[in-house]
Chains A and B, each alone.
Chain A
Amino acid sequence: MFTLKKLLTASAVSASLVIGLSAVVQAQSLGIPINESQLQDFDLIAQPDGSGYPQGSGTAMQGKAIFERRCVACHGMTGEGTSANTRLVGGDMQSEERPIRTVGSYWPHASTLFDYVQRAMPADAPKSLTSDEVYQVIAYVLNLNGIIEDSLILNKETLMQVEMPNKDGFIDSSQAL
């Protein structure tokens, strides 16, 4: 960025010089090259195809303790929630009444659970869980929803294979005008 002093000089010279300068800037590339390896601690994106998961693993049995220590204040003892927004279990997309939509009933991909808990939870101390703890606590949330066994060791590979009940429930409307 120009300092004020430089700006004053530039405007004192002539308007055409300023125009000439901006044309030069246009052709400039100011991004600084970086390697993907330098972004390992920065990039938290975890996708359904298995990309972006860290090493680590855990079971629902291990996750129960973390959940009870770090999550229940807002999500309830068994994930029943303290508000509509914080309910983590139950619901049925085919129910007669208005369906209750939760991780269990609504979410199409298990990867989203890893991605979201790692980036945003617990809401009072986001990004304070280790990778193992994230695997453990999401294993517990999936187990509370009856989606995985409590002994399943959740890791990069097994998480990719978890099938969510509503996996076919979504339509990509991104190209709709």
Chain B
Amino acid sequence: MSKQELEKVAANGLINRRHLLGLGLAGMGTVASTSLLGADAGLNLEIPGWSKAPGANASGYGSRSRFTDDMQRMAGNPNPLYPGGGSSRSPLHQLHGSITPNSLHFERHHAGIPDIDPAQHKLVIHGLVRQPLVFSYEDLLRYPMVSKIYFLECSGNSGSLFGPNPADGSAQSLHGLVSGAEWTGIPLSTLLDEAGVYPEARWINAVGADAASMGRSIPLNRAMDDVMLALFQNGEPVRPGQGYPMRLFVPGCEGNISVKWLTQIKLTREPTHFRDETSKYTDTRLDRKSQQFTFPMGTKSVITAPSGQMKLERQGIYQVTGIAWSGRGSIRRVEVSADGGRTWADAMIDSHQSEKALARFRIPWQWSGGDAVLQSRATDSQGNVQPTRTSLVTEKGNISTYHFHGIQSWAVNTAGDVANVYA
């Protein structure tokens, strides 16, 4: 198929997503245009050296190719005035699919990562229950478990986009506090039922075993819903940075309430009003009232390639790709624009998207060397549509910088440089 036959579906080069389905554009990248040039006579293939000698032996624990060592989380420098505090961001621009490898899953710690011996760790459920209980790790492993794929996003992800000027950043530095994984654990309701919750209990108060003893209050009705005590992530025990040996997992909600290193659940009538649900993780509105316990993360998407700080080296066809998610349902639709939101085309997503999980979207785009502004807009199964940055900031103000879920704009200039802009 020649370039001319590709069906344009929105202005500035967006091509019908069905061309992703092997209709002559299988290789994508710039292959489609270069393949028209015919074979390069100077390119004689030979058997490479690694095909002529036995390779490395099988190993007890796998490692990635040394050629991919540049894929790293972006972590801040240690700060002696905030011991163990900080975050590391997933390299969204280098990841594909909708599952984040555990070693690259984002992290946010308030007092470092504790080194917990599971044999010494205890989970206590007490307060307004018929029988306060303590559980060992070993016993918890014997309970019936469920496995679910969910996204996890820090409430502060993308927060710099509330600022008055666009930061010079990448998909990783601006939006890397989101990841996706399969979580396996025990429905929290199983354990709460075993302790026997009294009718007057309204909240659970969850506390971690880290040095900050991170605490968050969660309404009982939500805790009895799809919340789990997660013990495994992508099949292996939850890693220390994610709460080993166990964490709370509250699907669709701001990451901080999925308390890591979970050691205490106390049932009470009222929330505790922990520091991290009053001083932080609250949303002060323009009228100076502040919303507390704003849990679900908004309907959101971000193009991960091409994205900020990348450079398009050649004109031709690119696969625009990214991730979309919603704390209130599954992703039903992702549209992409190449002209700053004037015209939109539907991107390809798999038809059966899981609730509260990352959805991968893709659409071919022909860059002809001109200016472009790439945007993506997600719609979830509840009909929530991702808002523009302007409408979000106009509505919420920028006193608080949590829960940013506006549309990201990546400008491509004639030199092929991609940059974060407000459009």
Contact = CB atoms under 8 A, between A and B. Distances in A.
Given A99-B399, A171-B290, A175-B219, A35 B124 contact: no
A30 B264 contact: no
Interface residues of A, number: 58
B142 A34 contact: no
Interface stretch (B57-65, B129-137, B412-420): B129-137
A34 B219 contact: no
A68 to B, nearest CB: 16
Given A25-B143, A44-B213, A116 B292 contact: no
Contacts of A170: 278, 282, 289-292
Interface stretch (A56-64, A81-89, A151-159): A81-89
Given A31-B125, A34-B134, A45-B205, A173 B278 contact: no
A170 B289 CA distance: 6
Contact of A30 (B124, B142, B222, B290): B142
Contact of A171 (B126, B219, B289): B289
Interface string B80-101: 0111010000000000000000
A30 B138 CA distance: 10
A126 B292 contact: no
B275 interface: yes
Contacts of B264: 42-43, 45
Interface string B255-280: 00000000010101011111100110
B137 to A, nearest CB: 8
Contacts of B133: 31-34
Interface in A66-100: 73-74, 82-83, 85-86, 93-94, 98-99
A174 B194 contact: no
Interface stretch (A7-15, A106-114, A130-138, A139-147): A106-114
B328 interface: yes
Interface stretch (B293-301, B303-311, B313-321, B356-364): B293-301
Interface in A22-61: 22, 25-26, 28-36, 39, 42-49, 51
Contacts, number: 161
Contact of B215 (A45, A123, A169): A45
Contacts of A116: 274-275, 279
Contacts of A148: none
A137 to B, nearest CB: 15
B288 interface: yes
B129 to A, nearest CB: 10
B399 A107 contact: no
B291 A115 contact: no
A120 B111 contact: yes
With a 10 A CB-CB cut-off, give which of A46, A83, A103, A106 has the most chain B CB atoms.
Answer: A106
B104 to A, nearest CB: 26
Contacts of B219: 174-175
Given A99-B288, A111-B273, A115-B274, A26 B144 contact: yes
A4 interface: no
Given A47-B272, A126-B213, A169 B266 contact: no
A88 to B, nearest CB: 10
Contacts of B125: 31
B395 interface: no
Contact of A33 (B111, B132, B215, B275): B132
B290 A112 contact: no
B141 interface: yes
B227 interface: no
Contact of B273 (A28, A47, A73, A83): A47
A126 B83 CA distance: 11
Nearest to B137: A1
B292 A47 contact: no
A26 B215 CA distance: 30
A121 B140 CA distance: 31
A171 B273 contact: no
B110 interface: yes
Nearest to B122: A42
Contact of B294 (A26, A43, A176): A176
Nearest to A25: B142
A93 B285 CA distance: 11
A33 B195 CA distance: 9
Contacts of A26: 144
Given A39-B132, A123-B111, A86 B195 contact: no
Given A43-B264, A93-B288, 13 more contacts: A28-B142, A30-B140, A31-B125, A31-B139, A39-B126, A45-B272, A47-B270, A49-B270, A103-B279, A112-B278, A119-B207, A126-B211, A171-B291
22 contacts: A29-B194, A32-B134, A32-B135, A33-B133, A34-B133, A45-B205, A46-B272, A47-B272, A48-B273, A101-B284, A107-B278, A107-B279, A115-B272, A115-B273, A120-B111, A120-B275, A123-B85, A124-B83, A172-B293, A173-B291, A173-B294, A174-B292
